[in-house]
Structure 1
Amino acid sequence: MNATASASTPPQVAFIGGGNMARSLIAGLVRQGVHGSAIHVAEPVEALRQALEQDFGVATFAGASDAVAHAPLWVLAVKPQVMREVCAGLADAARAQSPLVVSIAAGITAGQLDRWLGGGNVVVRAMPNTPALLGAGVTGLFANERVSATQRARAEQVLASAGRTVWIEDEALIDAVTAVSGSGPAYVFLLAEAMEAAALQQGLPADAARILVQDTLLGAARMLVEAGEAPAELRRRVTSPGGTTQAAIETFQAGGFEALAARAIEAATVRGRELSAAND
């Protein structure tokens, strides 16, 4: 499908940027029953446009202004470094169409987006994470004061196509969302790296070490979600007094595990604020 062939189809949503996160949301919307022809995507890389057309039947465009024409909802899925330029190019269309604007760019505030789009805009700021690529993500959402209840529900529907959603009423806390869930998968991957390396040091074969670590983390995550109990209670249940788990937990705690995690999340939160200030 190309832009000309689908020009008569009114878009429900326009994506500005067709990278991995946009692709995951598009896949989720199609799974929900949104027809591909109702999704417009602006993406400068021809190979990505072709892949999106082939895989989802969406209409693609090289230019953002063409993609957003008549669309009531825009998803801004470009890198933070180019967001100001992209918004400036869309300001006239934003004034004419008054769309619901959803941004998934880290470190860009709703106020910045509103200002760069010319003012008076309906803006939702969203922070998804990479497991959204598997439909297993989680997204923190913040709405500015112009967003109606109906528009909040629409924004949530789009982001929920890739996983669970959480509304945050204080935008200042979105940087903490980024630090906890946006960056969080990398913390788990780092733990997996360390566990695999330790398993190898203990003499386990590499293939066995990887399976043991992967399925342990997967199973533990499922228990966290499905058991409905606090992490501390789940940990207590598996930690027998004087046993192997207690020996490991005490070693973690002696090394300041909890304090280190707190400092890491604080550092990521601070960095999010710095990125926002740098883009202002």
Structure 2
Amino acid sequence: MFNKLSARKPLNRKSILALLLMLLPCHAVVADTLLVWMAEEQAGVRDVAPAAHPLASELRRQVASPVSVLSPLMDLTDQQAITADRLWQGDAQAVLAASARYAPDYIVLARIDAQGAEPFTEWLIWHQGDRQSLSTQGDWPVQAERLLAFVSELSDRVAAEPDQLTAPLALAPVMAPSGYLLTLYRLDQPADFLDAMAQLRELFGSQSIRPVSFNAGTLRVSIDYEGAVSGLRGELQRHPRFNALPDGQLEFFWN
């Protein structure tokens, strides 16, 4: 018996590591992402704050793993959708639409007044369709710490709520949007949302177009159109970027 046991090969480092990993509990790690837009007013001038702003740097330094803080690329796509004035006004439609390409868990907007002795920041935080607000003042590390603590508390509150899949769902009456409802699929590229909205506004006028929802590459838009639905469908079919589905409804693929 001793000879048989001694004849076995000793375990190498990889085998030992594999055995240890098998003994460890397996937990899925979900990393939340915070997309942070910033506008700053200084000496009477408002501008979009860069990713290297000290407040953004403090957020990245203080955030605890696995949460990550992202700054917008501010490439041509972002510049077409976002301006300092839109950020300062808290334009939810513009901010949420521009954020869709990043697919963050939290969308954070910081409006920084750096004109006083101590910087003052008004925050807007969107998460799962809800909007929260927060005001902070003081040194950048203090403000970053307060914002991250607020987001952590918000996350804990959401986690403590009953499971939406099993909890009773109370539906309030919802007014349907006026006009015809157009559904547009395959808006998969970052600039597709803006391009599609621009084409629709050019066709029917800015006042006639109201976005209803945009999720996972699917855009739903309410269109005020005086004619029949067949006329609206015909106008869209003649446009090279709209490819109609063969069911006669107002559903199109984006080319």
The structure whose residues are more often helix, as a share, is 1
The structure whose residues are more often strand, as a share, is 2
Q: Same fold judged by TM-score > 0.5?
A: no
TM-score, normalised by the number of residues in structure 2: 0.31
